[in-house]
């Protein structure tokens, strides 16, 4: 049986630390995307998933992979389409399904953003040895996998 501490100290509580890191680091990338391309943070998240996968995806696929609700995904998709960064097509094998992929312009924008995302990650990992980076990658993967078991 686990003993529950009487107090919670946010500064040492892992979920708070992770949230702080994500919010702080993501703000830079989201600012870049908005200032250069007029794209919201949600639109970038959707674009990142579409750009990361060579195969067209459905909105449901994107929502599941990005851990976003369908309303947010729909808004992001609409924004990407308005910006000319997204192509929607009716699936030829299942006419009820709409597939999504980046347009040529969308792929170009994605390829402009990726180096900025990589730079942000490099800045975050500055001062970590290669072994520490590998350990962090392994541990964060385990945290990611454990997150689905948190109720």
CATH number at residue 42: 1.10.10.10
Q: What is the pTM of this model?
A: 0.84
pLDDT at residue number 32: 95
Pick the closest to residue 147 from 67, 89, 35 (CA basis): 67
pLDDT at residue number 2: 66
pLDDT per residue of the chain (151 residues) written in tens, 0 to 9: 667 767 889 888 999 999 999 999 889 999 999 999 999 999 999 999 999 877 889 999 999 999 899 999 999 999 999 999 999 998 788 888 899 999 999 999 999 999 999 999 999 999 999 999 999 999 999 999 998 888 8
Residue 100 lies in a domain: yes
pLDDT at residue number 93: 81
Residue 122 lies in a domain: yes
pLDDT at residue number 49: 94
Residue 121 lies in a domain: yes
Residue 3 lies in a domain: no
Residue 127 lies in a domain: yes
pLDDT at residue number 110: 96
| Boundaries of domain holding 64 | 18-147
Q: Are 115 and 32 in contact (CB under 8 A)?
A: no
End-to-end CA distance of the chain: 18
Residue 25 lies in a domain: yes
Count of structural domains within the chain:
1
pLDDT at residue number 13: 93
Output helix, strand, coil percentages for the chain, rounded to the nearest 5.
Answer: 65, 5, 25
**Number of Cβ within a 10 Å radius of residue 2:** 3
């Amino acid at each position: 049986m686990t003993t529950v501490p009487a107090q919670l100290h946010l500064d040492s509580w892992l979920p708070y630390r992770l949230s702080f890191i994500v919010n702080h680091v993501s703000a830079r990338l989201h600012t870049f995307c908005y200032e250069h391309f007029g794209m919201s943070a949600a639109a970038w998240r959707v674009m990142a998933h579409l750009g990361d996968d060579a195969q067209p995806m459905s909105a449901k696929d994107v929502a599941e992979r990005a851990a976003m609700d369908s309303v947010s995904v729909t808004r992001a998709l609409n924004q990407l389409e308005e910006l000319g960064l997204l192509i929607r097509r009716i699936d030829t094998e299942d006419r009820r399904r709409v597939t999504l992929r980046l347009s040529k312009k969308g792929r170009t924008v994605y390829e402009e953003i990726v180096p900025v995302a990589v730079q942000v990650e490099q800045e975050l990992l500055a001062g970590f040895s290669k072994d520490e980076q590998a350990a962090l990658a392994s541990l964060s993967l385990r945290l990611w996998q454990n997150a689905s078991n948190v109720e």
